[in-house]
Amino acid sequence: MEILNDLPEEELLALDGFLAFLGVYEDEGRLEAFARGLFRLGMTGGVVVEAGAGLGRLSEVILEIVQPDRLFLVEENPFALSVLRRRFGLRENVEIVPGLVEDFHPPEAVDLLVQELYGPLLYDESLAALERLPFRPGRIFPDRGFLKAQVVSFETLGEDVLDSATFRELSGALVSDLFPDFEAWGPQKTVLAWRALQGLERREMDLSDLPGDVVVFGVEVWDGEEKLCDPVICPNWPFVFTPRTGNRFDLSFSYLGGLSRTVFRWTG
């Protein structure tokens, strides 16, 4: 979906973010995986915060499975906030909180924080916000994540439109969902690992032992020892592709005011 007419920049950015929620909620695999994970977690009642509540579909799952005494839905997007108010405004145990979760000061101790702040490259959306919380929840769900990599040959992708020479023109670019039919996910390297309340761990990366000219990245969402999602199970977190032009690369992130910046470069 794309907005085709001119709008004030602030309104355009807010609408663009709002439309992104629609794509998230088309991913039934993601919602089902989170519902199973919350059921396995076995927590009921208490005070729950949902970070980035969006349009409220996961909020409904939380209310059904966790049955919190009080649920705070934290959301920054003004259009999503309107939806949340229409959807939950009459629920006595639900409070809608405008803003970013890292700016939220809950009035009481939080038992559980539920979040979907992962990006396709793990840390390229809002996971960093959880390291800036002004409160310490008793539990964060999900509480782990990984960015993994696989090296494949371009010929194995079965691409009919884009040839290998044209693909190589994308050198240095990380392109999501470029080959939407790719499902041969067999991760070979762990690039990044994240754990709630501990932060991000970068792994030293060397692809010299792997043949192939395409690097495929995929995020994996875990809670404890249970994997909830990868790009096959939850396609709204798509695979990311880049031409291989070396054996070593640097991938770094910065985060400010709800926005992330990603820097990628081959180093050898």
What pLDDT does residue 134 have? 97
Question: Sign of the CA dihedral 262, 204, 190, 267?
Answer: positive
Decide the pairing of beta strands 226-229 and 214-223. antiparallel
What pLDDT does residue 165 have? 94
Share of the chain above pLDDT 90, in %: 83
pLDDT digits (tens, 9 = 90+) for 258-267: 888 999 999 9
Mean pLDDT check: name the lowest of 3-12, 42-51, 200-209: 3-12
Average pLDDT, integer, range 126-136: 95
Average pLDDT, integer, range 10-34: 78
List C-alpha distances in Å: 144 to 11, 21, 45, 231.
34, 22, 23, 16
3-state secondary structure of 12: helix
**Confidence label for 121 from pLDDT (cuts 50, 70 and 90):** very high
What is the C-alpha separation between 237 and 194, in angstroms, rounded?
Answer: 16
What pLDDT does residue 256 have? 84
Decide the pairing of beta strands 189-195 and 226-229. unpaired
pLDDT, mean over the chain: 93
pLDDT digits (tens, 9 = 90+) for 145-199: 999 999 999 999 988 889 999 999 999 999 999 998 898 999 999 999 999 999 9
**Confidence label for 17 from pLDDT (cuts 50, 70 and 90):** confident
Does position 24 have pLDDT exceeding 90, yes or no?
A: no
What pLDDT does residue 1 have? 66
Number of H helices, E strands in the chain: 5, 14
Average pLDDT, integer, range 91-118: 97
- Rounded to a whole number of angstroms, the distance between the first and last alpha carbons of the chain is 38
What pLDDT does residue 131 have? 94
Question: Sign of the CA dihedral 178, 267, 123, 188?
Answer: positive
Average pLDDT, integer, range 224-249: 96
DSSP track, 29-75: HHHHHHHHHHHHH---SSEEEEES-TTSHHHHHHHHHT--SEEEEEE
Share of the chain above pLDDT 70, in %: 97
pLDDT digits (tens, 9 = 90+) for 46-90: 999 999 999 999 999 999 999 999 999 999 999 999 999 999 999
How does 139-148 read in b/e, with b if 16+ C-beta sit within 10 Å? bbbbbbbbbb
Average pLDDT, integer, range 113-128: 96
